């Protein structure tokens, strides 16, 4: 059989992973125009040139209960992906976050002689530290995006760790270069502009959006508000329909930057978007809510007691208030916003802290697209040079 040429597997199991991939993929294609990319992603990666074996809409899940029910699907997907790797003579894989699936896949790829580049290190420092052994055994290069991670993984045996700019900084670097944060003034007649970011998963939106709207209705009794929302393309439209009348402005995923630049405050599901809020200096109340089964399992096996939002983890302090499970209610949400609204000193202090975020998410200056392109060339018998 004729060789299919250079191929590279790429796995992004959820929307945030696809966004990470998009932060470097265009340049990677420029450096590797003769490489065919295939794997798991969304329509944006597909449009950029990745042949999808699975769409992340079908691939993603949230919490232990959803994962358990989808185990047969994941086993079938794992088998198909590995068959395609062998069929295409694939020698390099880019695995992005999505640790439960990708770490298992990494071991099977290693057995087949595939060089594994793991982009966005699993948060083993939070829980399941034993995963470090798998990383050191299966992964040729681990890319870290949080300031302390390179040292942490290196001290635990991972040989090749590269600290890189956080993908969000890469994605929004041009927007941030000419960005100047606005300050809300309670004495101004303009309405307070509140942005709702209820998440990119069905379960998140289903659990959080009703609480967000209840909070909005309470705030409106006392404060002049303009309400906007970012509706994720990965969430079913019918989850938003009952609340349409409450939105003054509706933004798509692609309009997140415009939404943040036009907002004074945000109310967000815990996730990557909280760091985006921090980069654009928008004071945000972060909420996390999951099913009772997921909560029980998490509390039973996880001893992690640190911050849950990426913004606070990067800052290593509670810049944003975090509300978990039963704490996610209109009383608590309203209390935090009114505290900022009526206490100018506290509001300005948060804005000053957020200004430091850009510096905190910078890495070693490695050219990621060139690094990956060199890895592909080397795997297929060409010289690589990581000096650039």
Residues 201 and 256 in one domain: yes
Average pLDDT over residues 307-324: 90
Token readout for 335 is 């209390």
d(CA 13, CA 269): 18
Both structure tokens of 177: 């270069």
Query: Average pLDDT in the 223-228 region?
Result: 96
Closest by alpha carbon to 120, among 143, 150, 94?
143
Q: What are the CA-CA distances from residue 381 to residues 6, 84, 377, 378 (Å)?
A: 10, 21, 6, 5
Per-residue pLDDT reduced to its tens digit, 38-48? 999 999 999 99
pLDDT-derived band of residue 147, with 50, 70 and 90 as boundaries? confident
- Whether residue 388 lies inside any domain: the answer is no
Residue 19, domain member (yes or no): yes
- What does the pLDDT read at residue 304? 47
Per-residue pLDDT at 265 = 97
Higher pLDDT, 303 or 194: 194
Same domain for 372 and 352? no
pLDDT tier at 231, thresholds 50, 70, 90: very high
pLDDT, average across residues 130-154 = 89
Whether 297 has a pLDDT exceeding 50, the answer reads no
Is the per-residue pLDDT at 282 higher than 70?
yes
Counting the structural domains of the chain, the total is 2
Give residue 216's pLDDT. Answer: 97
Supply the pTM of this predicted model: 0.74
Q: Say yes or no: 197 and 119 in one domain.
A: no
- Return the CATH number at 276: 3.40.50.2000
Mean pLDDT of 224-239: 93
Amino acid 294: pLDDT:
52
Range of the domain at 144: 7-164+363-379
pLDDT band for 167, please (50, 70, 90 cuts).
confident
């Amino acid at each position: 059989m004729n060789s299919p040429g250079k191929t590279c597997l790429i796995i992004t199991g959820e929307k945030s992973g696809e966004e990470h991939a998009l932060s470097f993929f265009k340049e990677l294609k420029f450096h590797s125009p003769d490489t065919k990319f295939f794997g798991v992603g969304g329509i944006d990666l597909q449009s950029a040139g990745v042949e999808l074996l699975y769409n992340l809409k079908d691939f993603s899940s949230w919490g232990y209960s959803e994962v358990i029910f989808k185990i047969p699907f994941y086993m079938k997907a794992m088998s198909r992906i590995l068959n395609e790797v062998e069929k295409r003579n694939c020698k390099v894989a880019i695995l992005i976050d999505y640790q439960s699936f990708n770490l298992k896949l990494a071991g099977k790829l290693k057995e087949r002689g595939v060089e594994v580049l793991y982009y966005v290190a699993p948060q083993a420092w939070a829980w399941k530290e034993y995963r470090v052994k798998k990383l050191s055994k299966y992964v040729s290069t681990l890319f870290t995006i949080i300031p302390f991670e390179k040292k942490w993984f290196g001290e635990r045996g991972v040989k090749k760790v590269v600290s890189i700019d956080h993908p969000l900084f890469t994605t929004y670097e041009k927007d941030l270069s000419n960005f100047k944060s606005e300050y809300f003034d309670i004495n101004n007649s303009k309405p307070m502009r509140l942005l709702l970011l209820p998440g990119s998963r069905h379960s998140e939106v289903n659990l959080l959006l009703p609480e967000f709207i209840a909070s909005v209705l309470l705030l409106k009794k006392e404060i002049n508000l303009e309400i906007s929302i970012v509706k994720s393309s990965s969430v079913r439209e019918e989850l938003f329909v009952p609340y349409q009348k409450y939105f003054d402005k509706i933004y798509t995923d692609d309009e997140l930057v415009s939404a943040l630049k036009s907002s004074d405050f945000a109310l967000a599901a815990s996730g990557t978007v909280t760091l985006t809020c921090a980069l654009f200096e928008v004071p945000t109340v972060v909420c996390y809510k999951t099913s009772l089964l997921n909560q029980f399992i998490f509390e039973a096996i996880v001893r992690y007691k640190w911050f849950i939002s990426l913004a606070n983890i990067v800052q290593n302090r509670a810049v944003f208030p975090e509300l978990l499970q039963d704490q996610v209610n209109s009383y608590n949400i309203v209390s935090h916003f009114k505290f900022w609204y009526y206490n100018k000193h506290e509001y300005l202090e948060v804005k000053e802290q957020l200004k430091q975020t850009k510096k905190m998410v910078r890495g070693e200056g490695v050219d990621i697209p060139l690094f990956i392109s060199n890895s592909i060339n080397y795997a297929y018998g060409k010289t690589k040079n990581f000096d650039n």
